Amino acid sequence: MVANPPRFDARPHGRRSGSRRRHAVVGVVLATVLGLSGCTHSSNRTGAPPQQAAAQGMTVSGEWPLTGLPTSGAAPRHPVMVVKIDNSAASKPQVGLSKADLVTEELVEGGSTRLAVFFYQHIPRLVGPVRSMRASDIGIVKPAKAVLVASGGAPPTVRRVKAAGIRTFTDGAPGYHRVPTRTAPYNLFMTLTKLAATVTAKTAVPSYLPFGSAKDLPKGRPATGLSAVFSGGHTTRWAYAGGRYTCQNGFAATGDSFRPDTVLVLRVKVGNAGYLDPAGNPVPETTFTGTGAALLFHGGRVVKGTWKKALDSAISLSTPAGPLSVPAGHTWIELVPRNGGRVVVSR
């Protein structure tokens, strides 16, 4: 850990049963008739909906699109903001994770991983260290209609992300600054509240996962924890206690970690992005489309299933018995390679 770290505010299917909650959004026409005023961000707001009305003046009800938790009231003016955060020992301490709605971990070059951290319900003041984008982020970001906050990217990646229609905010955008007590490239941080104030949502936010009730979850098998092995050089270890999962070898600042209700492991294909990093390592690319095996960890148990997803669609889950839903709450998604990766379940 670098001495004298910066100070910060420490603030995570398929078709459901008949008890499934229905999303409700008051449309543009109603907003126009009633002459509602513009939405404002409020720290005591209970939520925004699964189909978030992005136009000014919308009143909404339903569920938060990234957690499935109930909500009603004004939608945030800003879109979902996905921030790329370093996930190596050099990143200590990571800042802002405790305010996230959802986190995805993906493989990058050299066998390391990087985090795509989703912020919507709460926007932390400070997040980082912010690192570069990958083509893998396209399939991660597009389903949330999100903007991507990253330090930059290799030219081939930047072109592909732009072609995918994803709006990006790279080094030099409002809110970026360097922390003098850290060494580059791990010293780039973002005052996310500043950036969020400059960006207005343009489209509705669909549910990212097939959220449902824990009561509908298959029994599965006991699992006190898991190890998600991404490569010979990186394993993320989780332990279950007190209703949530705790990362045993993470890099978050004390009191600022993301403690999910659910850890969702998706086995994915990983190919070659077609270029080398500055150290000469091939850059991997996660294929977050198609189908594959899934492991859903919740409540100290694990359920086996299958995931399915198009590039810009939400994730669907199923078991041989039918659709599988994710209990509403905060979720950490592990995109573990099919080849070279594995998952070890602790009983």
Q: Tell me the mean pLDDT in the region 239-257.
A: 96
Q: The whole model's pTM is what? A: 0.83
Q: Tell me the mean pLDDT in the region 238-256.
A: 97
pLDDT exceeds cutoff 50 at 54: no
159 Cβ contact partners less than 8 Å away, ≥ 6 residues apart: none
pLDDT at 94: 98
For residue 61, what pLDDT band results from cuts at 50, 70 and 90? low
CATH architecture of the domain with residue range 81-196: 3-Layer(bba) Sandwich (3.50)
Which residues on neighbouring strands pair with residue 171, listed in sequence order? none
Distance CA 17, CA 307 (A): 19
pLDDT in tens, 196-228: 999 999 888 999 999 999 999 999 999 999 999
344 Cβ contact partners less than 8 Å away, ≥ 6 residues apart: 226, 227, 229
Fold equal for 81-196 and 211-346:
yes
Q: Where are the beta strands (DSSP E) in 34-180?
A: 59-63, 70-74, 81-86, 102-107, 113-119, 126-127, 147-149, 168-169, 176-178
Domain map (residue ranges) of the chain: 24-74, 81-196, 211-346
pLDDT at 50: 39
What three-state secondary structure class fits 145? coil
pLDDT at 179: 96
pLDDT at 40: 30
For residue 22, what pLDDT band results from cuts at 50, 70 and 90? very low
Of 3.30.420.40, 3.50.90.10, 3.40.1180.10, 3.30.200.20, the CATH number of 211-346 is 3.50.90.10
**Cα R_g (the chain), whole angstroms:** 19
Say if residue 177 is exposed, middle or buried (CB neighbours under 10 Å; 0-12, 13-18, 19+).
middle
141 φ, ψ (degrees, to nearest 5): -85, -40
